Amino acid sequence: MAYTERIREAARFPLELGYFTERASAGWRLVALEWERDLPGELEPVRKLAPVPYGLRVSDDCLHLEENPLEMQVLKMMMEFIVQDFSLSRIAAELNRRDLRTREGAAWTQVSVFQMLTRVIEVAPQVHSTEEWAERRKHLSQVAWNS
């Protein structure tokens, strides 16, 4: 079975047509060119930082992330409501009824709750292993049987 061999070479200046002709006659195809230039000043490229995941915050020492108690409480409520088979709009209404807001301070909507589902799934194993959740689970199973 045939495969593609690739090499990367540092450019030799000045580039001459003979170099490209020699490579092509040896069976190589030019597939890319990479350009770079020096810019004046000491500007560094802007790095985009990932947002802090919901339920966490930057610690006081600014070296690591720690739990944000209020946001973790919201995530736990969302889990409870999901277990109780609430719709996304009902979850949003319950959070708003309890005067809980999104990180941006807005009211919860079914879209904002939907966008949190991946985060709820990420924290579920951590939350499900706590004593607090074990007690909540007992209460939730009673609620489910009584409905």
Going 96 to 99 to 102 to 106, the CA torsion angle's sign is: positive
> Which residue type is seen at 143?
V
Predicted pLDDT of residue 60: 87
Counting the structural domains of the chain, the total is 1
Asked if residue 134 is part of any domain, the answer here is yes
Going 13 to 17 to 18 to 23, the CA torsion angle's sign is: positive
**Domain of 77, in residue numbers:** 56-146
Averaged pLDDT for residues 37-65: 83
pLDDT of 146 > 60? The answer is: no
| Percent of the chain residues past pLDDT 70, beyond the cut | 87
Helices (H) and strands (E) in the chain, counts: 5, 2
Reference 116, options 100, 129, 131; nearest CA is 100
Asked if residue 20 is part of any domain, the answer here is no
> Which residue type is seen at 81?
F
Asked if residue 43 is part of any domain, the answer here is no
Asked if residue 28 is part of any domain, the answer here is no
What is the pTM (predicted TM-score) of this model?
0.59
The residue among 96 and 136 whose pLDDT is bigger is 96
Identify the helix (H) or strand (E) that includes residue 66.
Answer: strand 65-67
Reference 20, options 33, 30, 31, 7; nearest CA is 30
